[in-house]
Chains A and B, each alone.
Chain A
């Protein structure tokens, strides 16, 4: 059933996601700067970068196909769609029947395929290098993510994210040991998927070590701006999935304006804590050798499987 207030709430949440995503990224970077005894550029820095990039001319590599031009838009659309089906403020999402948790993994995969193809499209060594590393990380991270989502689906008896979150948030308080394992697995996958330390280093200038950055080296101007925004949005969506699944308290049950308004400060507080925690993880870890990534993501997958087994053993 699609209602006008529901649609309004849906679009408010998507807009909020796009607006808040760069701030979350800026917050993580700011925390990292603080932990290095630096003053940091402030949490609005990603916005300044975006403004600069949107104002700049977009240079296209010689010999690039239309795929290269289209990819930033596809990427941005994928992330907006992902933001639309993830409960951010409330669980009454008219779009959520369109795609469930499994389709969400598919949306991320679609974005990954496009950016990898675009990276290989222009034919530089770095693009190909980044694309194949991204694929390696991706094919290891996806199963782990799927297992996490299966575990929570089993708890809620639904694969729709909105229903799952509603179930977890509204049902009477029960401790699910499986969620502890799933939560750790999800955190590990999130770091890998969002190109953070210990798998990738978002702030490196060393082209030979890059994964995500190597793929977007040839982008500039508005294309790069969209890619940066998509990356920020991806981090935001992942954070919101984590929050909604593992710390769902405070999320609005319905689509009424007051409920959403009350849910906003709770979300911001949770994101702030989550972003800080992420910065701490990044500060105390070194980047792994790239062939340690399979071990790392294998461990994440194992934890996710354990979560599912524990659910079957203890929670049914």
Chain B
């Protein structure tokens, strides 16, 4: 058992991934976190919940991860004492999550950084939109934005503000560069422009509705989120989806990964000025999306995974179509990989650009694809291995250079690995049921879902009320951990290389502006 050495009373959560939950007092948290960190663990998520419907004030929720499993810690915060110790000295990514929790709920980490994170413009400090008493539909006037960026002072240092509205069609985020000449001395990110109150929206939803909303947390990872949500719901209901449903889920998740990696590789070429790469990779991605539409009825596979199983079966001939596509894709991607590898101009842009050393990555707790490109060996498919990945056996690859080139290589490697997994699925999948009903979810139970999407691990923590509808639900995106790392990767690089570095991370704005 992964967390047995910890003092609190552990309860094992049933389900696809090894998960436990425990209660701990706020004062105990730093010690527990330190022990987990010393054992090679890290922070997977941090958020706050309103427990006043149970008469318990508020609660801080932590999810700690180790390769063997995850632990959900809940720490009650009474109404008259909303403070808890700052965990960011132990786990760096806690900073922004703590600030977001304070903006939403008023629970305070007593950290040195008093600036809001999600709270922008006319949203007043006294407004706590995640509290039960908040209507959740407050409309604010346009207000000023006087976020206090850290300024770098020195001879010739000046700032470039970029965003939140960009020249391309991308999500909103503000980047404040402190530069001297073309060299970046410091990059500070200001996100939260797409805050939309998803945690509040989840409350009171039925499970089927909740799965749909979870699938819309970050559109490019819709399969991962829907699976994580379903996993949490199934954990509560004590249902294991039929085998065919699990195979189909893995098939969809790997197809999502392949499609996203193909798109990223195209854009990485394009940002390096090689439009040829974009044209070729987008054509391949489009083929994958069209086959998705044909076989599953949705290009991005939205709402195809539901609690209890999957929503649609593979049509006759689907397996053959997928196998044929795997062969064609593999051939073409290998060819394009050779072109990228042998292109001196492109390699000159990629190599040593935006380097995140394994040491920094480990201190920052970087996860997912960007983490693996900097020697951070975390992959929930390979480690927690929820079914059917326990049978498939994912061969995790890592790279130690941590530059744009490494993240490009990771994408190529993961495409080939995903194609191998897809082939393996097509060989093993057998006819059968595709969904089981989640008839009556036991009231007042909690469940965790944890799955490795293409960007990194998507986590959903679910808590049901007495009627079996959602009492609280929190979806965590890997971008929370990786956005701060981007700022470190950019340091010392030149300004025009930022878009390339940013694209090589390709983090979600929406996914962490919930």
Contact B162 A36 (CB under 8 A): no
Contact A198 B345 (CB under 8 A): yes
Q: Does B149 contact A (CB under 8 A)?
A: no
Q: Which residue of chain B lies nearest to A35 when distances are taken between CB atoms in the complex?
A: B276
- Min CB–CB distance A11 → chain B (angstroms): 38
Contact A289 B168 (CB under 8 A): no
Contact B273 A197 (CB under 8 A): yes
Contact A36 B276 (CB under 8 A): yes
Q: With contacts A36-B275, A36-B279, A37-B279 known, is A208 near B346, CB below 8 A? A: no
Interface string of A121-136 (1 = CB under 8 A from B): 0000110010000000
Q: With contacts A129-B160, A206-B167, A209-B499 known, is A289 near B273, CB below 8 A? A: no
Interface string of B261-286 (1 = CB under 8 A from A): 00000000101111110110001000
Cβ contacts under 8 Å, B495 to chain A: 129, 208
Q: With contacts A36-B279, A205-B167 known, is A286 near B499, CB below 8 A? A: no
- Chain B residue total in the interface (Cβ 8 A): 30
Interface string of A199-231 (1 = CB under 8 A from B): 001011111110000000100000000000000
- Min CB–CB distance B184 → chain A (angstroms): 10
Cβ contacts under 8 Å, A286 to chain B: 269, 272-274, 343, 345-346, 348-349
Interface string of B470-510 (1 = CB under 8 A from A): 00000000000000000000000011111100000000000
Q: Which residue of chain A lies nearest to B493 when distances are taken between CB atoms in the complex?
A: A289
- Which residues 36-63 of A sit at the B interface, judged by CB distance below 8 A? 36-38
Q: Does B166 contact A (CB under 8 A)?
A: yes
Q: Does A290 contact B (CB under 8 A)?
A: yes
How far does the alpha carbon of A129 sit from the alpha carbon of B274 in the complex, in Å? 23
Cβ contacts under 8 Å, B341 to chain A: none
How far does the alpha carbon of A286 sit from the alpha carbon of B339 in the complex, in Å? 12
Q: Does A109 contact B (CB under 8 A)?
A: no
Q: Does B23 contact A (CB under 8 A)?
A: no
Q: Which residue of chain A lies nearest to B158 when distances are taken between CB atoms in the complex?
A: A125
Contact A38 B279 (CB under 8 A): yes
Among B273, B283, B346, B498, find the residue whose CB has the most chain A CB atoms closer than 10 A.
Answer: B273
- Min CB–CB distance B5 → chain A (angstroms): 48
Q: With contacts A287-B272, A291-B182 known, is A207 near B345, CB below 8 A? A: no
Q: Does A292 contact B (CB under 8 A)?
A: yes
Q: Does A3 contact B (CB under 8 A)?
A: no
Contact A208 B496 (CB under 8 A): yes
Contact A289 B160 (CB under 8 A): no
How far does the alpha carbon of A129 sit from the alpha carbon of B272 in the complex, in Å? 19
Q: Which residue of chain B lies nearest to A205 when distances are taken between CB atoms in the complex?
A: B168
Q: Does A110 contact B (CB under 8 A)?
A: no
- Min CB–CB distance B11 → chain A (angstroms): 50
- Which residues 271-302 of A sit at the B interface, judged by CB distance below 8 A? 283-292
Q: Does B161 contact A (CB under 8 A)?
A: yes
Contact B273 A287 (CB under 8 A): yes
Q: Which residue of chain A lies nearest to B353 when distances are taken between CB atoms in the complex?
A: A289
Q: Which residue of chain B lies nearest to A206 when distances are taken between CB atoms in the complex?
A: B499
Cβ contacts under 8 Å, A197 to chain B: 273
Cβ contacts under 8 Å, A37 to chain B: 279, 283
Cβ contacts under 8 Å, B273 to chain A: 197-198, 201, 204, 285-288
- Which residues 318-352 of B sit at the A interface, judged by CB distance below 8 A? 343, 345-346, 348-349
Contact A289 B349 (CB under 8 A): yes
Task: Choose among B167, B274, B346, B494 the residue that contacts A291 (Cβ–Cβ < 8 A).
Answer: B494
Contact A206 B271 (CB under 8 A): yes
Q: Does A234 contact B (CB under 8 A)?
A: no
- Min CB–CB distance A200 → chain B (angstroms): 9
Task: Choose among B159, B276, B496 the residue that contacts A209 (Cβ–Cβ < 8 A).
Answer: B496
Contact B496 A283 (CB under 8 A): no
Contact B496 A290 (CB under 8 A): yes
Cβ contacts under 8 Å, A291 to chain B: 182, 494
- Min CB–CB distance A83 → chain B (angstroms): 29
How far does the alpha carbon of A35 sit from the alpha carbon of B278 in the complex, in Å? 12
Cβ contacts under 8 Å, A292 to chain B: 348
Contact A290 B274 (CB under 8 A): no
Task: Choose among A203, A208, A283 the residue that contacts B498 (Cβ–Cβ < 8 A).
Answer: A208
Cβ contacts under 8 Å, B499 to chain A: 206, 208-209
How far does the alpha carbon of A264 sit from the alpha carbon of B227 in the complex, in Å? 66
- Min CB–CB distance A195 → chain B (angstroms): 12
Contact A125 B160 (CB under 8 A): yes
How far does the alpha carbon of A206 sit from the alpha carbon of B500 in the complex, in Å? 9
- Min CB–CB distance B502 → chain A (angstroms): 9
Cβ contacts under 8 Å, A209 to chain B: 271, 496, 499
How far does the alpha carbon of A290 sit from the alpha carbon of B353 in the complex, in Å? 13
Q: Which residue of chain B lies nearest to A285 when distances are taken between CB atoms in the complex?
A: B345
Cβ contacts under 8 Å, A38 to chain B: 279
Contact B167 A289 (CB under 8 A): no
Task: Choose among B159, B160, B349 the residue that contacts A287 (Cβ–Cβ < 8 A).
Answer: B349
How far does the alpha carbon of A209 sit from the alpha carbon of B279 in the complex, in Å? 20
Q: Which residue of chain B lies nearest to A292 when distances are taken between CB atoms in the complex?
A: B348
Contact A207 B182 (CB under 8 A): no
- Min CB–CB distance A123 → chain B (angstroms): 12
Q: Which residue of chain B lies nearest to A38 when distances are taken between CB atoms in the complex?
A: B279
- Which residues 88-109 of B sit at the A interface, judged by CB distance below 8 A? none
Contact B167 A207 (CB under 8 A): yes
Contact A289 B283 (CB under 8 A): no
- Min CB–CB distance A101 → chain B (angstroms): 31
How far does the alpha carbon of A129 sit from the alpha carbon of B162 in the complex, in Å? 12
Cβ contacts under 8 Å, B168 to chain A: 205-206
Cβ contacts under 8 Å, A207 to chain B: 162, 166-167
Task: Choose among A32, A129, A289 the residue that contacts B497 (Cβ–Cβ < 8 A).
Answer: A289
Q: Which 10 A-B pairs have the closest CB atoms?
A: A287-B273, A286-B345, A36-B279, A205-B168, A125-B160, A206-B499, A209-B496, A286-B346, A286-B273, A205-B167
16 extra interface residue pairs, beta carbon distance < 8 Å, beyond A197-B273, A217-B167 = A32-B275, A36-B276, A37-B279, A38-B279, A125-B160, A198-B273, A203-B275, A208-B160, A283-B275, A286-B343, A286-B345, A286-B348, A288-B345, A289-B348, A289-B496, A291-B494
Q: What are 10 A-B residue pairs whose CB atoms fall within 8 Å in the complex?
A: A37-B283, A125-B162, A203-B275, A204-B273, A207-B162, A208-B160, A208-B498, A286-B345, A288-B273, A290-B182
B interface residues (Cβ-Cβ under 8 A, vs A): 158-162, 166-168, 182, 269, 271-276, 278-279, 283, 343, 345-346, 348-349, 494-499
A interface residues (Cβ-Cβ under 8 A, vs B): 32, 35-38, 125-126, 129, 197-198, 201, 203-209, 217, 283-292
